[in-house]
Structure 1
């Protein structure tokens, strides 16, 4: 299998200097329309994250970093005290956009920690340094994606049928993605793969986004409904599963898009390895287990009125968690930019992350 040499469009781009703006692909319009949003206010960045115009834990973190810069542009001529107060206001506001993706908080905390070392600079100088840091976060994310691909490619043998759930590709990151980076790297090695993409209800990120990305890169892909995964495994079409993650606890329990837990159970029942690909920034070592991971609850209309069409009776009760948590014991390995975590235990998580940090 060969991949397309065409460079895929970037999920987001910072345009200009400290007075610039964030341009990003509106993922709610894909695959029918390719539309780019220009976020010039922090409120527009918040809304883009909340309404899933930009989504995927690493991409949310990058967007939030740039959103902080946008939110501080109005205070560039303020006093240092006013600038500092505005920074805290902006980062707290952006943190309220989505509760589960830990990269959001990681990026905002990183900017806040940096800002605390810049007290001797003018607001204009601080803003310049914060923009540099946001750009560094984006570049690090791009390098992280490539490293995850390198570490994970050997997990997928030639001829593998691989299932993925939701979207963990370039649209979810600043680079080639996490789970899809592994697939792209394996393809670049000359391996022939057949990717099966779950629709990923209720917002169809697999159908709308993952299949679009795979087509862009020339990777053979087949779309299936979420409920077909078990039967596809039974038929022998699938011999590996790989997904991304939005937050991983210290013991390796991993939160990802709703439906991932079911896929992991199906993989276990059929003796199929289940892999998670995620950067070190997705680990929340302050949480001992996945039981502590906050799960975002989204609007019932996403289920009852999917994409504007009513598909359920008025007044019906709706339970719509955006994520679920896959226990570590169901995960064969976690692929990070620092290497493989296998077996997935608290001890191995700590050792791999510590070794990578000191490298």
Structure 2
């Protein structure tokens, strides 16, 4: 059974509340752009591709169920204002801004068409938003295939036999429309008989690895082990050879033009560990995550989140024998009054990255040691991002 984090039919949208995972499976209804904004901000839905889809479809549902003006210009202005608002929910993830930009353009085009009406502008927007949902799964499957093939063909471990991989945060069906990016690579290795074992890091402070990635790995019956973030170095040193670890594969919230990559906090340290231990470090990301307007990682604004996310932890009560899912408690795990710094992301320099896996192939550095990411857009002939989130 395929794990669905986003359930959509025209006029209705439900999202799997990821704050209640892995112990409770609960879907929230999203009725409007405001509902979508709060779901993204509160991290009930997360993952760069998924938040763009939820934002786009949240507005589509609102448009579908509201009394619409007959005047094309009024509907256009309403949509553009709502898209601007939705982008403010998560400023670091480029997919959301990219989706909004392209949906704005499609809305403006629909409003300029001869005989345009409020209903036709709405229809143009809704169809464009729906297309994102379909395209994302296809692109993720391609990312998984290209990444798995590259690992088998370009790593020492891959030449020996089935490989093991470490991943960070959550980049699977819960973070996308389905299948996943970095976790999609692991899924593809497993499907082809090329995966020995998957390791997922806990991913403090929000525990996306222990709560979400572990949930998906168990759901798909992929052989896997959970480790805390601080165990990664020991894992590579003590089990690298016996487990035939080929490398570390992660997702991305934004890739700069030079290949510097913003991803969940803790990614940078994993890249350093990979370099030291001589294993590959790979970033799996759709082309829409690549931002050619952002020249380097120094230009990426890093979101800082409330300190309480570090100081508090929530989960069902454990009575010494089993979990009581009816009693969810929040407890403090930090000294009262301590100052807390909680950046949500860090930036991994391009020099620590061996390859960037996209839906059209794996980008490697040229002979000068430089990523030429503009090349992945050349097939469109316009320099535009032609697919996945916002690809219209």
TM-score when normalising by structure 1: 0.93
Matched residues in 2 for 1:72 and 1:8: separation? 29
Shift of 1:81: 3.2
Q: 1:197 aligns with which of 189, 194, 200?
A: 200
In the alignment, what sits opposite 1:61? Answer: 52
Shift of 1:84: 2.2
Shift of 1:347: 5.0
Q: 1:151 aligns with which of 146, 152, 163?
A: 146
Bigger drift between 300-309 and 251-260 goes to 300-309
Alpha carbons of structure 1 residues 60 and 346: separation in structure 2 relative to 1, 3 Å: farther
Does structure 2 retain, via aligned residues, the 8 Å contact 1:72–1:83? no
How is 1:1-359 mapped onto 2 (pairs within 5 angstroms)? 7-15=1-9, 17=10, 20-73=11-64, 74=66, 76-77=68-69, 79-119=71-111, 120=113, 121-154=116-149, 155-156=151-152, 157=158, 158-235=161-238, 236=240, 237=243, 238-307=245-314, 308-343=330-365, 347-355=371-379
Note the alpha carbon deviations across 1:2-49, whole angstroms, 9 max, x for none. Answer: xxxxx322221223x3xx121111111111001111101221111111
1:171 alignment partner, SS class: coil
Unmatched segments (≥5 aa) in structure 1: 1-6
Which has the higher Rg, Structure 1 or Structure 2?
2
Alpha carbons of structure 1 residues 357 and 49: separation in structure 2 relative to 1, 3 Å: farther
Matched residues in 1 for 2:313 and 2:299: separation? 30
- Extract structure 1 runs of 4+ deviating beyond 3 A: 70-75, 344-347, 355-359
Q: Cα RMSD (Å) of the superposition? A: 1.7
Bigger drift between 178-187 and 153-162 goes to 153-162
Shift of 1:85: 2.3
Shift of 1:75: 5.5
Matched residues in 2 for 1:243 and 1:292: separation? 21
Shift of 1:275: 0.6
Shift of 1:310: 1.0
Note the alpha carbon deviations across 1:94-125, whole angstroms, 9 max, x for none. Answer: 01101111111111111100011111421112
Note the alpha carbon deviations across 1:49-71, whole angstroms, 9 max, x for none. Answer: 11111111111111111122234
Shift of 1:355: 4.0
Count matched residues.
Answer: 350
Matched residues in 2 for 1:21 and 1:178: separation? 26
